[in-house]
Amino acid sequence: MNYSIMFKSVTGNTELLANTVLHALPLKKCTYFGGFNKSEVEKSDIIFVGFGAENDTCTEDVAEFLKTLKNKRIALFGTVNAANENGYFDSIISKVAENISSENEIVGGFICKGDMYKEPEKDNPNILFTGSDYSSVHPNIIDLVNIRDFARNMYYFM
């Protein structure tokens, strides 16, 4: 089964997830990896679509791309600079899915926290992090293991 990974990443968080998906699946079955490209859509049996969430959904350019898809299997993934309280991550996937016509099949969705990095601290310019605890930076190793498992489940079992 051929797949493509199409994504938009402003801060690099979603790109990190996209690279993890790429390396979790058979590389020779990947028909395209990069930004949204309508001409590459037809070559794939499943499309992994990545985005950074804004205002509880995806950005307008991501929504417009999703609206163009026809008869595709779609796996959504993304990052958001917020915690997963009260099912917030699931609500983002639901809102993004509203941009996908019913002639497509949404096989799953994955969201994790993605921090907005600050400028380097003046007293230590070699460390970039948000908050006071470096271990709280996301996506972290647990997020990457989870997206890897998500990608494999979408590819092999859906």
What is the distance between the alpha carbons of residues 115 and 119, in angstroms, rounded to a whole number? 13
3-157, what's its fold?
Answer: Rossmann fold (3.40.50)
Q: What is the model's pLDDT at position 82? A: 86
Mean pLDDT, the chain, rounded, equals 89
Domain limits, the chain: 3-157
Q: What is the DSSP string of 117-148?
A: PPPPBTTBTT---SSS-GGG-SS-HHHHHHHH
The predicted-structure confidence for 89-124, as pLDDT tens digits, reads as follows 999 999 999 999 999 999 999 999 998 654 445 555
The predicted-structure confidence for 115-135, as pLDDT tens digits, reads as follows 865 444 555 555 444 444 444
Q: What is the model's pLDDT at position 126? A: 52
Strand order in the sheet with 46-52: 30-34, 3-7, 46-52, 73-80, 105-113
pTM above 0.85, yes or no: yes
